[in-house]
Amino acid sequence: MPIYAECGGLMYLVDSIQDLEASSHQMIGVLKAKAVMTGKLESLNYSVADVIRKNILTDAGFTLRGHEFHYSKVEDVPSDSKFAYEMRIGEGISGRRDGWLEHNLLASYLHIHFGYAPQIARNFVDACERYGKK
C-alpha cells in the first residue's frame, strides 16, 4: 500500500522515539532507525530537493520545494537505506538525503509545497488507485 509520511509521520514509522528525558517509546518499526527529540531546533528553512530516485510522488529529475521545521533527528539509519531526494537546500534525514524509500513508502522531514507542483498529489492518488486494483 502506498504510504507518504512527512516529519511526525516519519518519526511514527521508525523503531522508537527517544524523548527529552532519554526514555524510549516504541513506534511501528517499518523504518529501522530511531528518532531522538533534541530540545533544540534542528532545522528551520525553506528547502529544495532534487529527486534522484523514482518514487510514489514523482520521477527522478524533478525538483521539490517545501520547508523543514523540526526538533528531532533520526539516528542509526542503515547504511544501505535508499533515499529519493538529495537536499540542495535543507538537512533531510541523513547526510543531506531525504525521502526514505522502503517498499511502497516515502518518508521525509521535507514538508512538500504541493501548490508548487499539484501533479505530485495526483501521482500519489494514482499510486493508491493502482494499489486498489490489485
- Predicted confidence (pLDDT) per residue in 57-86, tens digit: 999 999 999 999 999 999 999 999 999 999
**43 pLDDT tier (thresholds 50, 70, 90):** confident
For residues 52 and 15, what is the distance between their CA atoms, to the nearest angstrom? 26
The tally of domains found in the chain comes to: 1
Find the domain containing 24 and state its range. 3-132
Phi-psi region of 90 (alpha: psi -120 to 50; beta: other; left: phi over 0): left
Q: Which residue has the cell 528531532?
A: 72
Catalytic (active-site) positions: 7
**134 pLDDT tier (thresholds 50, 70, 90):** confident
pTM of structure: 0.94
CATH number, domain at 87? 3.40.50.880
